[in-house]
Structure 1
Amino acid sequence: MSAGRVRKEIDHALLSFVDRQRPGVLAISDDLAPLLSALDALLAGGKRLRPAFCYWGWRAAGGEDIEAATGIAAAAASLELLQASALIHDDVMDASDTRRGQPSAHRRFEAMHREHGWRGGAAAFGEGSAILLGDLCLAWSAEMFDTSGLDTEALRRGRPVFDLMRTEVICGQYLDMLESARGAGTVERALTVVEFKSAKYTIERPLHMGAELAGGTPEVVEALRAYGRPLGIAFQLRDDVLGVFGDPAETGKPAGDDLREGKRTVLVAFTLERATPAEAEFIESRLGDPELDAEGIAQLRSIIDGSGALAACEELIDRYTEQAYEALRSAPIASDARQALAELAVAATARRV
């Protein structure tokens, strides 16, 4: 089964579910149409990594091909609604202007408020509307999982992992906010945020869930988790690097946006460990400044690169990626799943600045 075919089946399941929900939402009120439009715009983009890892966890544990199986595409695609919820809420908390190359959900609603000249604050309306849309996506993710078409026993096995995944990503998001509020975080604390906000929820848990849905043996489940955890960390470390040095055409966000948002990433923690006192003071004075301009971003990038933090982060990405490959090489799984997971590892980590 090609990656393209898997993506097509997952997209079909996802968009079909939203289309089934649409009449019920609009029956409540036509005024809810902008919520659905904002969701449609968000779901039009994305790599579908979480559903892909879930599907290949299913296949690795002995599940049927996606064209023969009933329900696995929908169960895997439910993770894309969970991802949509996390992204919408994350953008509100970070005051992000864009997502996937277009206005973030709260900015869309804020602009709608201004366009119509409604009462009250446009920003508050935008944030409140986005929070509700994120909540709707979270509720729908569970509904899509439960109504996926998989048999009751499979859902019983997979549901605890699905529930744990949602708990971990919410807790990880809180820890991320806490680190930004505290300031001057350590590499160790930043890695904890990486693990629970992104790594587990992006790769380890989707694989784990797919394997449980297929009734995989404990040996297969553990092998997939041993592959997924380090790969998930490497994936987020790569995203953190791109958040500072990436091309907006590829990241879908303005250059240096993570610096404006004041994210306390591993990259920043490495920099503060290695920077001179004057450089560290400059970083602390500019990190999280929403008015940070191109010159300020260039100065921060220069300090990060010159301190050796970028090289240290790249080395850590390589180390975690190799751990994932080692686990994959020894995993007791079918060759087609092994090949697909190797290709997904490249897609997750090989992006360079």
Structure 2
Amino acid sequence: MTETTQEMPERGLRHYPVPLFGMVMGLSGLTLAMRQGELAYGLGGAMSMALYFFTFAVFLLIGGGYLAKLIKYPGAVVGEWKHPVRLSFFPAISISMLLLAVATLERNESLATGLWLVGMALQFVLTIAVISNWIGTRSFQHGMLNPAWFIPAVGNVIVPIAGVPLGYVELSWYFMSVGLVFWIILLTLVINRLVFHDPLPGKLQPTLVILIAPPAVGFVAWLRLNGGDIDAFGRILMNSAYLFTAIVLVQLPRIVRLDFALSFWALSFPFAAATIASFRFAAVTGSATHKLFGLILLVALVAIIAALLYRTAKAALAGKICIPE
């Protein structure tokens, strides 16, 4: 029997979800990882260039859609802001801009500067706003805590990657400090939640992969701030990223069997971060082992992104995206 209009789920702009920006983060990560792979193996720049323009187009498309939602349905945006899980995804907007600034740096410094300045300012505002929500009058239960909470605060470590070469060194140190402090705080809370409380709900299981990102991105940022030298702390960050990658790989077969949701895009950027960090470590130290790790991770990343694009397109055609929860 055909569904009536009233029985069909309401879809469209009102339910355009902020976690869609996770797609931009993943594609930006792939672009940057591919560029590092090209540099490591002398492959030119055609592949990363194509990915760069594709990622920028996706950012404009998703950003334009969310701006239209903000204008037409501001109450729906407020509803997402008040959602205990989706709240943490709002800084994915500013992080997407910061990652695009990194990718733009060698192509157009003026555009990179503009993206970085806007992304940096928005990241500052969103970090303060989200943390204020966490410690304010709202009541958050332990079951609401998940690795996506790293995005608002720990995501600050991305700022120095473009900030240092653009000349904003002291600002970059501020954001790096905030990110590292909250990495320690949130890592403790998240591990406690994962070990001593109920398992994450199915849709949030993919966010476990986010555990890889803070030390991997932190290593790349630390390399910028440390003048390109790898010291003891840099090695701690790099090896911490490998530890969490190994832990995630054990969990991955179980995660990929779950029903697809937009949260699956959480698989993409952390693997990209580990790939970039591996290639950067290899470039500085000449380590063939880390160069091989980078290649293996890059191949896995390409497969992950391809699968995510396919499953996202399939879900969109089936009307399973932009629907009420």
TM tier, smaller: 0.3 to 0.5
More RCO (CA 8 Å, sep 6+):
2
TM-score by length of 1: 0.31
With normalisation by structure 2, the TM-score equals 0.33
